[in-house]
Amino acid sequence: MTDSSGNYRIEDLLAGDYELSVSASGYRTGTQRVTIAAGEARNANVTLTESLALGDLGFTTEQTQGNAADQARLDRRSHMLKWHQRFGLLTAASFVATLVSSTNAGGRRATASGRDWHAGLGILNTGLYFTTAYFAIFAPKIPGAETHGQIRIHKALAWVHGTGMIVTPILGAMAFNQRSNGQRVTGAASYHGAAAAVTTIAFGLAIISVSVKF
């Protein structure tokens, strides 16, 4: 320890290289290398510079202190949205497969097995879609976070494909029953294809809206 004037004395050091470190509250620790030969007395002066703290910049403790609970909420949100993204890509693939299978489910080339395949893929697609939606809907909300940017488009499109994913399977089931009974697809069921197309396009645009910057 130094005396009240900052003087110090260290005795009985062996010859060699030393790193002298001087510390004081409110100052940055100063260091200096000192080489001492056998029997030699050396003077080593270290100048300390004032240490600045976040309080000197006007930040409050509330601003500078971390919050583990907030971090946990962010972690959970990101974790769930990662699954939202993964299931979203799977759902996109199943949208395409379901659309492709529709060529054998209706029209002149329609077959019973084609309809069954299309219905099966439609059910799978619906399951994947609502699993995807679950991870987004139930991801924790972050207090004070305002929504802005392209994510607003993504969320707006969710209302379109969300509605579509309720309507399309219902219309699909109606069309399936009509065809299975040997009837022509008529009435509301005839809009199944159009509803599916709008839903698929809205879903694709929703993916693009968070993938490509424009």
Partner 1 sequence: MRPARLARLAVPLVVAAAPLAGQTGASATWILARSKVTYHVSHPLHQTDGVSYEARGKGVCQSGQCTLLIAAPVKSFNSGDSNRDLHMLQVVRGAQYPMVVVRTTLPEDAAGHDTIYADVEIEFAGQTAHYKQVLFQLTMQGNDATVVGTIPVTLTDFKIDPPSLLMIAVKNEVPVRVEMLWRKE
Residue with tokens 């029209």: 107
- Binding residue for partner 1, selected from 37, 40, 41, 65, defined by CB under 8 A: 65
- Write out the two tokens for 176: 């399936």
Is 142 near partner 1 (CB under 8 A)? Answer: yes
Instruction: Choose the binding region for partner 1 from 2-10, 101-109, 168-176, 195-203 (rule: CB under 8 A).
Output: 2-10
Residues 97-136 close enough to bind partner 1 by CB under 8 A = none
132 - beta bridge partners? none
- Asked if 151 is part of the footprint of partner 1 (rule: CB under 8 A), the reply reads yes
- Please, which residue, 67 or 180, has the CB nearer to partner 1? 67
Give CA–CA dist 124/127, Å, rounded.
5
Instruction: Name the amino acid, one letter, at 49.
Output: T
Distance of closest approach, residue 68 Cβ to partner 1, in angstroms: 6
Task: From 110-118, 119-127, 144-152, 187-195, give the range in contact with partner 1 by CB under 8 A.
Answer: 144-152
d(CA 15, CA 11): 12
Size of the site for partner 1 (CB under 8 A): 66
CA distances from 10 to 2, 4, 28, 36, 82 (A): 10, 16, 22, 12, 59
Helix, coil or strand: residue 27: strand
Q: Are 150 and 210 in contact (CB under 8 A)?
A: yes
Euclidean distance between CA atoms 152 and 115, whole angstroms = 37
Q: Which is nearer to partner 1, 13 or 100 (CB)?
A: 13
Closest CA to 98 of 77, 81, 118: 118
61 lies in the binding site for partner 1 (CB under 8 A): no
DSSP state at residue 48: -
Which of residues 11, 12, 17, 40 is near partner 1 by CB under 8 A? 17
Considering only residues 155 through 184, tell me which ones interact with partner 1, judged by CB under 8 A: none
- Whichever of 42 and 180 has its CB closer to partner 1, that residue is 42
Where along the sequence are the contacts to partner 1 (CB under 8 A)? 1-6, 8, 10, 16-28, 33-34, 46-54, 56-59, 63-68, 70-71, 73-75, 77-78, 81, 85-86, 89, 142, 145-151, 154, 210-213
